[in-house]
Amino acid sequence: MLTFTPGPTEVPLRVLGAMLREPQNPDLDESFAEFYEGLCEKLRRIMRTRGDIIVHSGEAIMGLEAAVLSLVEPGEKVLTMTSGVYGDGFIDFVKAYGGVPVEVRVDYDDVVSPEEVDRALGREGDIRVATLVHCETPSGTLNPLREIGKVCRENDVVLVVDAVSSVGGVPVEVDGWGVDVCIVGSQKCLSAPPGLGIMSISKRAWEKIEERRGNGFYLNLLTWRDWWFEKGVFPYTHSVSLLYALDEACSMLLEEGLENVFRRHRLVAKAAREWVKAMGLKLFPRKEEYCSDTVTAVEAPKGLNEEELRRRLKEKYGVMIAGSWGKLAGRVFRLGHMGYNAQPGKLLQVLLALSLCLLDMEFPSKTWEAMSAAEDVLYRSE
């Protein structure tokens, strides 16, 4: 089975093999702390930051909740930019912790406008925290983070970004673009197994966190401040095996070189999109320039049951792709070409399987034209 879903992705054997290492005791073995520091340094290089890094034992969504819990005062207004399922999720977190979401909202097939963000911040005047999802995985879109970061920095707003499906696949400059809290998952573009959440925290974010003094232990970033950053001790027994895997995944990425990694993602994503168009299918994002290079969301054509498509694809062709979530469920199917999945060979296998499967289902497939379009991008460009 080829797992071509937008996270978890397939995991390289080299990364899985790293978990064969006999686990160190992370609480007592000083050499483990050194190893962990080395991992954080690799993550800094990938995320392009000199800020503090926290890798927590738990899935990436924990990072979103931890950021809101740690930053947002009850009754405090928070600018929640939303263009999809996870942007809406941030709103739920803000409400859960007593914050007051001020929404900048666009349709799920659209991206957030930096001008609109600037206007909203100007209009409100007293907003200090904003949330954004960089790649809205369920929609296949990529928000203009660089421009939004600039606006937030100009307005002196602490910017929290869910970059779970973008860091390691497309350029993200945490410090350069003014991202104060950047949240990443192990199982997306880094192609390590799921179970670790990564966060970068800027000085500005720490100041707000210390002012807020949020409640609780496990999700509270102050816990990390008091334990790891002050005393060099983890707040709990860390997930050593997963950290070995993540470290290996980061090494592979840095060995390949970030620019090469991004080029690979660009190429594979463009090939996927050219195939979609040549097949007579429709990309879900309303403009192609909104598409993320890490995931391609395709509108399920009228009359075609996308769940049935995915079932057949899996059973007959051994390829697993994804549907979508929330109000996009049943309307969109998605190809996850991020991280270790962003490889021409894998993409071609998936596209051919999809072409044949659509033919089986009597969709008027233009298999030859579509496969040629993809091949042209992969082997006859750049």
CB of 162 closer than 8 Å to CB of 134 = yes
Q: Are strands 196-201 and 52-57 parallel, antiparallel or unpaired?
A: antiparallel
For residue 190, CA distances in Å to 167, 251, 336 come to 8, 10, 13
Site string for a copy of itself, 26-45 (x = CB under 8 A): xxxx----------------
Query: For residues 291-330, which are near a copy of itself according to CB under 8 A?
Result: 320, 322-323
Q: Which residues contact 259 (CB under 8 A, 6 or more apart)?
A: none
The least distance separating a copy of itself from the CB of residue 19, rounded to whole angstroms, comes to 4
Rounded CA gap, 243 and 26, in Å? 11
**Which among 138-146, 152-160, 173-181, 214-222 is the span making contact with a copy of itself, rule CB under 8 A?**
214-222
CB 69 within 8 A of CB 94: no
Please, which residue, 235 or 280, has the CB nearer to a copy of itself?
A: 235
Task: Select from 101, 168, 195, 339 the one that contacts a copy of itself (CB under 8 A).
Answer: 195
Q: Enumerate the β-bridge partners of residue 319.
A: 2
| Phi-psi label, residue 48: left if phi above 0, alpha if psi -120 to 50, beta otherwise | left
Alpha-carbon distances, residue 297 vs 21, 201, 328 (angstroms)? 38, 31, 10
216 makes contact with a copy of itself (CB under 8 A): yes
Within 218-277, which residues bind a copy of itself (CB under 8 A)?
218-219, 236-242, 245
Tell me, what amino acid is at 132? L
- Residue closer to a copy of itself by CB (options 20, 289) is 20
**Backbone φ, ψ for residue 177 (5° rounding):** -100, 0
Stretch of 6-14, 45-53, 129-137, 144-152 contacting a copy of itself, by CB under 8 A: 6-14
- 19 binding a copy of itself? (CB under 8 A): yes
Based on the shown chain and the rule CB under 8 A, indicate whether residue 3 belongs to the binding site for a copy of itself.
yes
For residue 86, what are its two tokens?
């996870």
State the minimum distance, in angstroms, from the CB of residue 28 to a copy of itself.
6
- Nearest to a copy of itself of 218, 368 (CB atom): 218
Q: Which amino acid is at 302?
A: K
Residues 149-188, mask of contacts with a copy of itself (x by CB under 8 A): ------------------------------------x-x-
Angstrom distance (rounded) from CA 229 to CA 134: 28
Crossing angle of the two packed helices 258-278 and 240-256, in degrees rounded to 10: 80
DSSP classification of residue 81 = E
Nearer to a copy of itself, 237 or 381 (CB): 237
Cβ closest to a copy of itself, residue 23 vs residue 171: 23
Q: Of the candidates 48, 55, 65, 252, which one interacts with a copy of itself according to CB under 8 A?
A: 65
Between 97 and 228, name the residue whose CB sits nearer to a copy of itself. 97
Biggest distance spanned by C-alpha atoms of the chain = 64
Q: What residues between 89 and 148 interact with a copy of itself by CB under 8 A?
A: 92-93, 96-97
Smaller CB distance to a copy of itself: residue 15 or 351? 15
- Report phi then psi at 197, rounded to 5: -110, 140
Q: Which residues bind a copy of itself (CB under 8 A)?
A: 3, 5, 7-8, 10-11, 13, 16-17, 19-29, 57-62, 65, 69, 92-93, 96-97, 185, 187, 193-195, 215-219, 236-242, 245, 320, 322-323
